[in-house]
Chain A
């Protein structure tokens, strides 16, 4: 009886040890680690991605700066145009001149 129980425990322990070993082998930790650290294409891609992200941020800042400059220039231009138009409108449509007349106005 005692030897049966001992055998049963030994069998269960053996099966458990087998599955643990199986899981360990299936996880394949040594293979993944070596791939990440060793594949030069992935390393290059990762480095390139980071470089592009940095360049993208830099380009966005540059665009924002130039857009702000353009808006300031446009606002200045519009202000100058409005001022010029106001001057033109304020200028009298007629003034006394010394030119020989082209036509005469009279009571019609």
Chain B
């Protein structure tokens, strides 16, 4: 098993390939992450996304158009629980720079910003309603993991983890890709994707109040959930990311009713497994 890791998209990316030699594919995979970060990052002023957010419309690359279409599909499939128009709400909550540079404590955050502005994609032209800006942090890592997994699969069965958002291609000789969800629980993944969303990391304080990065589009504030962390399984990493975020925002009761394949950690410390994973 060949392993390679590097930093990208504000997190650690780990690549695993079951092959004797995969240096060319690993190099291409790392370059692809860098290229996609330059497309999707809201923290890089020269990225395509930053140009779109400034101008309100853009003749974008096929990659940006694809990921925005994915975000629109996700919004529709989660009835608005997942929404890429949370950019201004994140900024208002204090997440206005790369997370490493966000002060852990600071004066009061701004008033919550409106979410849910109109977004349209025609071919590769993207148009935003006035005052609407996009954040692709909730979907971009999964999107990149899927793209890179496709590249890497040329060398053999592979797993791509972008800070825990995981895409796999093929099955290793052990029969499954073991992924630790917690200290006590490991899931074996054979296809599709897996992702984790939660409020236990990427937290900061404003005027003594805890904030986190998962915005509820209905309120424009960090979601007040009875879940601390959600790990979800999807047909790919993008679907898993969207599912994990929407389950987190929806809360435990809704998650139990939906019974999607997921591992839920509640704020009172219980681990609940749904969707037939046990």
Contacts and interface: CB of A to CB of B under 8 A. Distances in A.
Interface in A5-24: none
Given A94-B190, A94-B194, A94-B277, A107 B229 contact: yes
Interface stretch (B21-29, B77-85, B112-120, B176-184): B176-184
Given A92-B277, A94-B187, A96-B187, A107 B178 contact: no
Contact of A108 (B163, B188, B233, B261): B163
B259 to A, nearest CB: 12
Given A96-B273, A98-B186, A105 B278 contact: no
Interface in B182-212: 185-192, 194-202
B159 interface: yes
A44 interface: no
Most chain B CB within 10 A, of A93, A99, A108, is at: A108
Contact of B186 (A92, A93, A96): A96
Interface residues of A, number: 18
B187 A108 contact: no
A98 to B, nearest CB: 7
A101 interface: yes
Given A92-B277, A96-B186, A105 B178 contact: no
A93 to B, nearest CB: 4
Interface string A83-99: 00000000111111111
Interface in B102-127: none
B42 interface: no
Given A94-B233, A96-B277, A96-B278, A107 B196 contact: yes
B233 A104 contact: no
B185 A96 contact: yes
B190 A93 contact: yes
B53 interface: no
A57 interface: no
B141 interface: yes
Interface string B152-175: 000000010111111000000010
A70 B130 CA distance: 64
Contacts of A97: 176, 178, 186-188
Contacts of A36: none
B231 interface: yes
Nearest to B161: A103
Contacts of B277: 92, 94-96
A105 B194 contact: yes
A102 B179 contact: yes
A106 interface: yes
A17 B56 CA distance: 116
Given A97-B178, A98-B186, A99-B186, A108 B11 contact: yes
A54 B192 CA distance: 61
Given A94-B187, A96-B277, A105 B162 contact: no
14 contacts: A92-B261, A93-B192, A94-B188, A94-B194, A96-B185, A97-B186, A97-B188, A99-B174, A102-B178, A105-B166, A105-B179, A107-B202, A108-B141, A108-B162
Given A99-B188, A101-B186, 13 more contacts: A91-B190, A93-B192, A94-B188, A94-B190, A96-B185, A100-B178, A102-B1, A103-B16, A104-B179, A105-B180, A105-B181, A105-B195, A107-B199
The 4 closest A-B pairs by CB, nearest first: A108-B163, A101-B180, A97-B188, A105-B164
